[in-house]
Amino acid sequence: MTTRPSPLNIAILAAGVGKRMRSSLPKVLHPLAGRPLLAHVIETSRKLEADRICVVYGHGGDAVRARFPDPDLQWALQAPPLGTGHALAQALPQLGADGVTLVLFGADPLARAETLEAVVRHARAGALSLLTIELDDPTGYGRIVRDADGAVQAIVEHKDATAKERAIREINTGVMAAPTQHFARWLKAVDNRNASGEYYLTDVIAMARKEGVRIETSQAGSVIETLGVNTMRELADLERRYQRAQADALLDAGVTLADPARIDVRGSLTCGADVAIDVGCVFEGTVRLGDGVTVGSSCVLKDVTVEAGAQILPFCHLEGATVGANSRIGPYSRLRPGADLASDVHVGNFVEVKASSIGRGSKANHLAYIGDTAMGAGVNFGAGSITANYDGANKHRTVIDDDASIGSNCVLVAPIKVGRGATIGGGSTIAREAPADMLTVARPRQMTVPGWKRPAKKPKSPKG
Q: CB neighbours of 222 closer than 8 A, spacing ≥ 6?
A: none
CB 9 within 8 A of CB 94: no
Burial class (CB in 10 A: 0-12, 13-18, 19+), 197: exposed
Largest CA distance in the chain: 108
- Enzyme catalytic residues: 366
Q: Report d(CA 259, CA 238) in Å as an integer.
A: 19
Q: Report d(CA 246, CA 256) in Å as an integer.
A: 13
